[in-house]
Structure formats: C-alpha cells, structure tokens
Chain A
C-alpha cells in the first residue's frame, strides 16, 4: 500500500478525504470500525498525530465516533449525511451549469438519461 499524497493539501486532510470516499463508496459502512491509529500510521508510514488529526476531523464533522477503549467507528447515518452533502453540493455548484448547457444545446433530459443508461448497460 503506497498512497500518493499530494503536496497541496495537509496530509491529515487527505486522509480524511480518503475515508469519506470509502464511506461514500460503501467500502466501510455505518457502524464499521475504522482501522486503529497505529495500523494506519504503520501502513502509511505517517506519524500517529497526523492520523489522529485526520480522525479528529471526521469526529468534528460527526461522521465518526470514538468509543472508549474500542476505537473509531463510522456513525449511524454517516453515509446518508455525506450523500446529502454531496447532493447539495452537486445541486448548488454543478447542476446550474449542466442545466444551462442542456438547455443551450436543446437536449431532451429524458433522452439524455436513456443514453447514459445504455452506456452503463454496455460497461
């Protein structure tokens, strides 16, 4: 396992993002335990404080909870909350532009959806 950290964002932030992606993709589910700070530190060769900071960011966002003596767990509803957040962001940031393009090019939304369904079926 050799993660490539980019050098534009702090590593704890990138670690937080990675876990968020894992939750969104269902790699870890609500109620699942996250690997221990030690394990992550060992595997990614990070200092434990960085790992702790990444986990703490998730705790602050109420996506993860610390169970005393047991470790970190994905909170119930974490995936739903993230999904709601992603949807909100999509609607606010991306959708206006996409909708404008659809209108400008004179597409029929239903026809577009049929096309993507066809593509998904092929892949």
Chain B
C-alpha cells in the first residue's frame, strides 16, 4: 500500500521566520503517528499544510493528492479534530449532526446516532448543558462517524481531565482505528499516548529532530542507571543526555549496543517525555 502522507523538502516561511524548514517524512497506512514539539515549533503549520489550509514550498502528497490544490476531494478522506472545547455552547446536538451531514460527504449520521444512543447525550440538548464527559462523547460521535482514512487530531484532549482523556483514546482504538486507517496526533500530554503511538516525530524550529518508528526508538535509545564506579567509562561513550536521580546518574545513549551498555549499569526504556527533553536540549538552537 502506498504512503498516506509523503512530504519532501516541505518549507514554509511567515515573513522572515521559517516555520517549516526542509521537512521530509512519510506516513504509512495503519500507523498512529505522534507529532511532538514545543509551541511555535511548526506543528500547526505542518498540520495546516497537510490539510490544505496553507500553501507551501516543496512536495506534499496526502493520499496521492496535492492538499492545497485538491483540498475539496482530499477532505472526503480526511477527518480533522482540534481540541474538543471548540463546539459552540448554543449548538444543539441534533443541529451538530445536521451540520456534519451537510459539510462532510462521508459522515454517517446513523453511525453517530447509534454511538450517542449508548451515552447520556440527548439530541435536543445544547452543548452548553452537557457535562465535559458528554461533550467528549459528542465529539467522538462526530469524529468516528466519518469514514476517513486519515484522522488528524490537534491537541484533541486539551482541557479534559484524565478520565475523559483516557475514554477518548479508548473509544478511538476500540471503535475507529484499524489497519486501513491512519491517525496523526499532536499533543502536549505525551505520557498518556506514548504506548499508543507506532511512530514518533519530534519537531523543533521547523525541523524534524526525530522521525522514527517506536520499535526503532526502543532499539536505538537506552537509558542507563550508571553504576557509580562506571561513570567515567560511560562518559566516554558520549551519552546524548544526562540527568540525576537520587544522586545516581542516568545517561541516555543513542545507537550504542545494549550489550556494551549492560556492563555500565541497569538498562531502562526511556519515556517519550525524557527523549523529548533530551532531543530538544541536544539539538542546536
């Protein structure tokens, strides 16, 4: 199967500022890709380009189409959700469903109704009268009823408490995702989705500083709790990041053989959050 997204030399400047600087990557079907970066790193610009909302330099193909010139047709295969707090409070649930039916050719209103029937969300209610959990369910109903091959989620769980954030991803995995579909997600709450991702992209100053499958990440990055007498030896292997925990040194290594590292101390799998901090500090500003 061909790539869902293929970007080559993607660049975008606002005034003199390079929001995206020669970015290349591909996303294959059936993957859950996390696009992680600090504010202003270029995440939103990348998403906008993929959704055909902004012109760009370089080559970009989303499901075989140029998103900017072919946006209308592309949108039939793409579903996009920004954070869930964006549904207007005055909107009635039934109206939200009507609206989606009119906007999106692949929106299956029956599917959305069936999903909502399992919840407390009533068709006559206004968004402002719903609890936060119910708003999440409404949002999910709207997203999952779109038969889209690519789902783009931009900070989908912003402002939700942990229970609803969990419920959001659980429903997504249970009722939506399969090997034909692809999810691209940006979020600040990396810890919660790190086991969910199949691929990881870090973006900083408009450039990709990491672009790898989670399997490859786990093969190449190892964190070692260094035995005190081995610190000097460990330093010589050039750790990419160093931190301390209860007076012990934790070094992060990239591309050093596990067997070699095992002689220095206890091996751990670094969390995505640790990797992120390491990569952001390590990369030249």
The answer to whether A and B interact is yes
User: How many residues from B make CB contacts under 8 Å with A?
Assistant: 24
The answer to whether A50 touches B269 (Cβ under 8 A) is: no
Residues of B with C-beta under 8 A to A42: 169-171, 173-174
Residues of A with C-beta under 8 A to B192: 45
What's the count of A-B pairs with C-beta under 8 Å?
49
B218, B266, B269: most-surrounded residue (chain A CB, <10 A): B269
Which size class do A's interface residues fall under? 10 to 19
Q: Is A39 an interface residue (CB 8 A)?
A: yes
Across the two chains, which residue of chain A brings its CB closest to B268? A7
Alpha-carbon separation in the docked complex, A38 to B192 (Å)? 18
The answer to whether B174 touches A38 (Cβ under 8 A) is: yes
Chain B, 146-204, CB within 8 A of any chain A CB: 166, 169-171, 173-174, 177-179, 192-193, 195-198
**Which residue in A5, A10, A41, A45 is a CB contact (below 8 Å) of B218?**
A10
Chain A positions 33 through 66: 1 when the CB is less than 8 Å from some CB of chain B, otherwise 0: 0000011011111111110000000000000000
Interface residues of A (CB under 8 A from B): 5, 7-8, 10-11, 38-39, 41-50
Enumerate 21 A-B pairs (CB-CB under 8 Å) in ascending A order: A7-B268, A7-B270, A8-B266, A8-B267, A10-B218, A10-B269, A38-B173, A38-B177, A42-B169, A42-B171, A42-B173, A42-B174, A43-B170, A45-B170, A45-B192, A46-B195, A46-B196, A47-B32, A47-B195, A47-B197, A50-B195
